[in-house]
A and B are shown apart, each in its own frame.
Chain A
Amino acid sequence: EADIYQTPRYLVIGTGKKITLECSQTMGHDKMYWYQQDPGMELHLIHYSYGVNSTEKGDLSSESTVSRIRTEHFPLTLESARPSHTSQYLCASRRQGGNTIYFGEGSWLTVV
């Protein structure tokens, strides 16, 4: 059982609101990732981190930002949500040198 948690699981918010999606893992993994999945589509990497104070943008351009102040915590923030941000966001992690990726259960965001 993977120890990676995402909150909230489901969120409906209005346009222009600021939101933060939380992701925490208790496995001490250095590497963490955020993926975005539009309904019915494949997942795309939007952010990743190789450790504290390390963040990089992924293959898919995203208006979201991330931070990595603590090893276990990798929150994703949208400063001003728009309907185009409606999507599922999946957080993942793995340990240095490992090839098993652990996924959270996802956060479904709807912007109205």
Chain B
Amino acid sequence: AQSVTQLDSHVSVSEGTPVLLRCNYSSSYSPSLFWYVQHPNKGLQLLLKYTSAATLVKGINGFEAEFKKSETSFHLTKPSAHMSDAAEYFCVVSDQFDTGKLIFGQGTTLQVKP
């Protein structure tokens, strides 16, 4: 069965410094992986997705993630944090047979300090 583990429940960075949100996955097949962001009282927004094409995936708002099969990781990065990046971030893997059935990680709260 697939599973996702987000290694940090809370990450705090200063504005202008790099962001790293860590995610490991477990899957018996080649997975589709996603990062979603959820701002307070807002719905989910797709940041980026990996679907077996290029291993380095670029998303919106300057975020990117690298799929590393050997490490079963899909870490999310951004070179320079902005105050508006403060939110909850979810690493997600999709079901092998139905990409709409998503398995969510526990979430990482990103705090950005001025």
Contacts and interface: CB of A to CB of B under 8 A. Distances in A.
Interface residues of A, number: 25
B63 interface: no
Q: Give the secondary structure class of B's interface.
A: loop
A82 B32 CA distance: 36
Interface residues of B, number: 20
Contact of A106 (B43, B51, B105, B106): B43
Contacts of B90: 42-43
Contacts of A100: 46, 49
Contacts of A61: none
Contacts of B71: none
Interface string A28-43: 0001010100001111
B102 A101 contact: yes
A67 B20 CA distance: 41
Contact of A42 (B98, B101, B106): B106
B99 A99 contact: yes
Given A90-B44, A106-B43, A101 B105 contact: no
Interface in A19-78: 31, 33, 35, 40-45, 48, 58-59
B2 to A, nearest CB: 11
Q: For B49, B51, B99, B101, which residue has the most chain A Cβ atoms within 10 angstroms?
A: B101
27 contacts: A31-B98, A33-B101, A35-B102, A40-B107, A41-B106, A42-B90, A42-B104, A42-B105, A42-B106, A42-B107, A43-B90, A43-B102, A44-B104, A45-B101, A48-B98, A48-B101, A59-B103, A92-B100, A99-B32, A99-B49, A101-B46, A101-B99, A101-B100, A103-B43, A103-B44, A104-B43, A106-B43
Interface of B: 32, 41-44, 46, 49, 51, 90, 94, 98-107
Interface of A: 31, 33, 35, 40-45, 48, 58-59, 90, 92-94, 98-101, 103-106, 108
